[in-house]
Amino acid sequence: MERRSFLKKAGVGLAAGAVAAPAIGQGTQPEVKWRLASSFPKSLDTIFGGSETISKRVAACTNGKFQIQVFAAGEIVPGLQVLDAVQNATVQCCHTAPYYFFGKDPTFAFACAIPFGLNGRQQNAWMYHGGGLELMRDFMKDYNVINFPAGNTGAQMGGFFRKELKTVADMKGLKMRIGGFAGAVMSKLGLVPQQIAGGDIYPALEKGTIDAAEWVGPYDDEKLGLYKVAKNYYYPGWWEGGPELDLFVNTKAWEALPKDYQAVLEAACHEANVDMVAKYDAVNPAALRRLVAAGVQLRPFPREIMLASWKAANELYTETSASNPRFKKVYDQWVKFRDEDILWFRVAEQNFDTFMATVSQQSNAAKK
């Protein structure tokens, strides 16, 4: 009887303890509220949506204790000034394309894309397993931020041009909205690059302030309405084979986070990184069909322009490496990774993709 009584009382105690333990654990979780400034307008739901994915996942994984409020471009600061806001602790983090800050240092572009660089999968491989993330974090610590890959658009289009391009000479004097390193390459070919935030591109193209503009790809470009004022749609965007979007976090804000919140935030960025390119791959095909139906002329960049751009890009990398040791440190390791990875992709991916594109085209033609 005494034994049974003891076990009964012990059982009650254990049950009470089992219920109480999570409550105590939850009670010790701090409430953290951050603000995130995006470089993108809400209308571009996929690229802006990367920050929303992060915010929702962080809240869900912390029982609402870690809240990140997302602000679109211009709501707190303009889209191209979000890095300054994070550095100065105006906000705790931002979601952006790192090459927007090319003017501060061209090294930023490696965390996004540089001309004739990596595709989306190769960018992830370099960042996560090729030493890229370590290199970029070492570089960015001087800007008081820590970065996390948090999105990718996949290979982009080359943009909308009012006039058809046939030779390099046709590019001279054209004013084009184009960001990052690509603008510097284009300037070598006589084009005049313009850095314009996403929400301001259409008015500039409509008013004739610019003659051409690139953004992302069919889905976003359709939303921006660029096809209404420029009908020549070029491909590929050789300057953005797999551009990465990043979450920049203020260093002190990051260090103040509990370790489990840090883990949750990092995992949420991984999710955004995978989800964004998956959505673009799902929605771009139908958008491209709609654009063509609306009278858009799909045009490949002439080979002359591609070769001239390749030459200009490599000249620029040599020049920049000679004058910027931080750029050279990253570039020397990046270019080795790129060339090695391309060899692998040539063996399997390229051959598979080429075969599938050919037989799919033949099969569809036979059905007509």
Give the side-chain half-sphere CA count within 13 A for 303. 0
As a whole number, mean pLDDT of residues 98-114 equals: 96
Q: How far apart are CA 256 and CA 234, in angstroms?
A: 46
Calpha distance 233→178 (Å, rounded): 14
Share above pLDDT 90 across residues of the chain, in percent, rounded to a whole number: 87
pLDDT at 107: 98
Q: What CATH code would you report for 159-240+297-338?
A: 3.40.190.10
CATH annotation of 21-152+242-281: 3.40.190.170
Quick one: how far is CA 236 from the chain centroid? 17
Q: Report residue 287's pLDDT band, with 50, 70 and 90 as the boundaries.
A: very high
Q: What is the mean pLDDT of residues 268-294?
A: 98
Whole-number mean pLDDT of the chain? 92
Does the pTM of the predicted model rise above 0.75?
yes
Decide if pLDDT at 9 tops 90: no
- What mean pLDDT comes out for the span 189-208? 91
SS3 string of 55-123? HHHHHHHCCCCEEEEEECCCCCCCHHHHHHHHHCCCCCEEEECHHHHCCCCHHHHHHCCCCCCCCHHHH
Q: How many CB atoms lie within 10 A of CB 325?
A: 9
Classify each residue of 254-293 as buried b or exposed e, where b means 16 or more C-beta atoms within 10 Å of its C-beta.
beebeeebeebbeebbbebbebbbebbeebbeebbeebee
- CA dihedral of 57, 224, 300, 273, whole degrees rounded to 10: -10
Q: What sign does the CA torsion over 318, 320, 323, 326 have?
A: negative
How much is the average pLDDT of 225-234?
96
* Mean pLDDT within 288-293: 98
Return the bridge partners of 15, or none. Answer: none
**Residue reference for tokens 């996929």:** 46
Map out the domains of the chain as residue ranges.
Answer: 21-152+242-281, 159-240+297-338
For the segment 239-274, what is each residue's pLDDT rounded down to a tens digit? 999 999 999 999 999 999 999 999 999 999 999 999
Band the pLDDT of 217: cuts 50, 70, 90: very high
Residue 20 has pLDDT above 80, yes or no: no
pLDDT of 211 reads: 97
Residue 199 confidence class, pLDDT cut points 50, 70, 90: confident
Tell me the mean pLDDT in the region 2-8.
Answer: 42
pLDDT reading at 226 higher than 90: yes
- The whole-number pLDDT of residue 289 equals 98
Is there a shared CATH topology between the 21-152+242-281 domain and the 159-240+297-338 domain?
Answer: yes
Supply the pLDDT for residue 95.
98
pLDDT of residue 367: 81
At residue 27, the pLDDT reads 56
Is 292 a residue whose pLDDT tops 90?
A: yes
